Amino acid sequence: MPPTMSRMGDVLAGFHAAWEFESDSVLIRYERGIRTPKLFQALGERRIPFEAIEAVTLAPGKRGTVVLRVEPRAGADPLMEAAADQLKESCDPYRLVLPAERETLAEYYADELHAQLKREGPAERFLVAAPAVPLRFKAYDGKATFDGKTVSFRWFWTGASSAKWKAGDQSFAVADLNGVEWRSPEVFEGHLRLLRGAESLLPVDQDPAAVVFGLGYGPVHESLPFAAAVLAAVRSVRPSAVVPAARRDPADVAERIRHLAELHQAGLVTDEEFSVKKAELLAEL
């Protein structure tokens, strides 16, 4: 049996966060400063049990820093499951960036933490707590709210499609859902979709179980914790609930690139925006 942390209660402070090492977990507290990523501020703090960690790494960072990172086990954290590898490196809640002169100290803690790791492979259940409810955010076409039992969408007349207006405002009980699909608002056509069955094959702008993101609508720090909380609630009643992989069908990507090209030709998307969005779509293949 691995020994307990030899300096239990120690705190290792880095940029934007501090890690407190406890007997069975790491308590991560995020700063609330102006420079701190908004996602970290929204999360506040997170307790990561040792059993939720698969690996620990220490590597050189940018501009005279080192990065201590723990790799969560697949299926252990609802936030990372919902994110599906779409988070930017700077918003990775499992990275602690430190000045390079603290590398020796960071290496000590990495070794101590590595000695606590007992499990490998996917977790059978979520081991990290989901963001607390109630949660809400504004998408481009509606307002989403979640009270822990029911997800509700209230449509905006300025953004919702005629199909959604016809369907009316929606409420979905957690027990009736199969999973959650979150696509980052920082890429082309981001959205949050509640998975139910065949209905989930509809285009997101026509699906009454989905809200569409847009510039300034559905930001990561609001929509991702929301998606994670819904996923955790669904998994509590449906252990097989899923988060679809972020990668898309090639035909779907081709169609979206075609649509993007039309926007570009119409002058609605700049050359730079077209190149960036096209590259993001191709990366999903």
Question: With 90 as the cut, is the pLDDT of residue 161 above it?
Answer: yes
Q: Look at residue 284 in the predicted model and tell me its pLDDT.
A: 59
Q: Look at residue 171 in the predicted model and tell me its pLDDT.
A: 98
* Best CA proximity match to 152, nearest among 126, 132, 174: 174
Q: Look at residue 238 in the predicted model and tell me its pLDDT.
A: 81
**How confident is the model over 219-234, as pLDDT tens digits?**
999 999 999 999 999 9
Question: With 60 as the cut, is the pLDDT of residue 216 above it?
Answer: yes
Question: With 50 as the cut, is the pLDDT of residue 2 above it?
Answer: no
Q: Look at residue 243 in the predicted model and tell me its pLDDT.
A: 62
Q: Mean pLDDT in the chain?
A: 89
Sign of the alpha-carbon dihedral angle for 181, 185, 188, 189: positive
Q: What is the mean pLDDT of residues 118-125?
A: 89
Q: What is the CA radius of gyration of the chain?
A: 20
Tokens of 64: 């005279």
From the number of C-beta atoms within 10 Å of its C-beta (0-12, 13-18, 19+), residue 185 rates as buried
Are the C-beta atoms of residues 45 and 131 closer than 8 Å to each other? no
Q: What is the mean pLDDT of residues 209-213?
A: 97
Q: Look at residue 268 in the predicted model and tell me its pLDDT.
A: 64
**How confident is the model over 8-29, as pLDDT tens digits?**
579 999 999 999 999 999 999 9
**How confident is the model over 63-114, as pLDDT tens digits?**
999 999 999 999 999 999 999 999 999 999 999 999 999 999 999 999 999 9
Question: With 90 as the cut, is the pLDDT of residue 283 above it?
Answer: no
What are residue 144's DSSP bridge partners? 137, 153
| Residue 52 identity (one-letter amino acid) | A
Provide the pLDDT confidence category of residue 244 given band limits of 50, 70 and 90. Answer: low
Residue 134 preceded by cis peptide, ω within 30: yes
What's the DSSP call for residue 34? T
Are the C-beta atoms of residues 230 and 79 closer than 8 Å to each other? no
From 30-44, 84-98, 199-213, 225-239, the region with the lowest mean pLDDT: 199-213
Q: Look at residue 1 in the predicted model and tell me its pLDDT.
A: 42
pTM: 0.83
Tokens of 70: 């723990």
Instruction: Look up tokens 């097989």; give the residue.
Output: 240
Provide the pLDDT confidence category of residue 267 given band limits of 50, 70 and 90. Answer: confident
